Amino acid sequence: DGVIEIRDLTKRYGRTTAVDRLTLTVRPGQVTGFLGPNGAGKSTTLRLVLGLHRPTAGTALVDGAPFTDRPRGLRHVGALLDAGDVHGGRSARAHLRALARSNGIARSRVDEVLHEVGLAEVAGRRVGGFSLGMRQRLGIAAALLGDPPVLLFDEPFNGLDPEGVRWVRGLFRRLAAEGRTVLVSSHLMSEMEQTAEHLVVIGRGELIADENLAQFAARS
């Protein structure tokens, strides 16, 4: 359970090839780092896995099926995509309650995840007043809401202070130790070093490396 299989995946926007014949498998039980410079195609790949974009060619499967139909929604795959992109007028709690409702998740999970990400005390405040770090925590709470076996985090370290970075690293390792699939994108190798066990590196949409972090570090 929780295997992501990407086969010959390609996504073009006009003349830009954002993802170029990407093939890789992401497995449960470890943190997989997804490394590449800005514009490498990381977000596009994660969005294709989530079925938020249609591939130009190839497939992205989660547990053998495209995620497009979202049969289990947030109870299958949870994702932090663009933390800045949250409706600012609602409170953190109201935001998560709406997500819980539309995904058939028990309302009691909302306060659990708010506590887990350290936002319990600001749960009633408007998200519009949140710092980027607080928005990242809220996005992580949304990803955790459905207790999913598969978790995707796009640039989760952005805006976090050093304490927040330590916290999120521990969280990712714990989620992986629970047997979940944890895929974390970043443009900084330094963020991966104490986070990921496995590393997938892409550049210009193409796969550059797919190996154990220690192996990668030994070569570069």
Nearest approach, Cβ of 70 to ligand ADP (angstroms)? Answer: 5
Instruction: State the SS3 of 24-36.
Output: EEECCCEEEEEEC
* 32 near ligand ADP, rule: CB under 6 A: no
Q: Looking at 41-49, 105-113, 118-126, 159-167, which segment touches ligand ADP (CB under 6 A)? A: 41-49
Nearest approach, Cβ of 22 to ligand ADP (angstroms)? Answer: 11
d(CA 107, CA 136): 21
Nearest approach, Cβ of 190 to ligand ADP (angstroms)? Answer: 17
* 41 near ligand ADP, rule: CB under 6 A: yes
DSSP calls for 97-119? HHHHHHTT--THHHHHHHHHTT-
Q: Kindly provide the residue ranges of all beta strands, DSSP E only, lying in 120-170, ordered along the sequence.
A: 150-154
Which CB, 38 or 218, lies closer to ligand ADP?
A: 38
Which CB, 54 or 218, lies closer to ligand ADP?
A: 54
For ligand ADP, the binding residue among 9, 26, 35, 42 (CB under 6 A) is 42
Q: Looking at 56-64, 70-78, 173-181, 191-199, which segment touches ligand ADP (CB under 6 A)? A: 70-78
Which CB, 104 or 166, lies closer to ligand ADP?
A: 104
Amino acid at 7: R
β-strand pairing of 77-80 with 150-154:
parallel
Residue 86 DSSP label: S
**Which residue, among 59, 126, 120, has the nearest Cα to 88 in the 3D structure?**
126
* 99 near ligand ADP, rule: CB under 6 A: yes
Q: Looking at 73-81, 129-137, 156-164, 192-200, which segment touches ligand ADP (CB under 6 A)? A: 73-81
Nearest approach, Cβ of 53 to ligand ADP (angstroms)? Answer: 8
Q: For residues 80 and 156, is the Cβ–Cβ distance under 8 A?
A: yes
For the chain, how are helix, strand and coil distributed in percent, rounded to 5?
35, 30, 35
* 36 near ligand ADP, rule: CB under 6 A: yes
d(CA 36, CA 23): 15
Q: Could you list the residues that contact ligand ADP (CB under 6 A)?
A: 13, 16, 18, 36, 38-44, 50, 70, 73-74, 77-79, 99, 102-103, 142-143
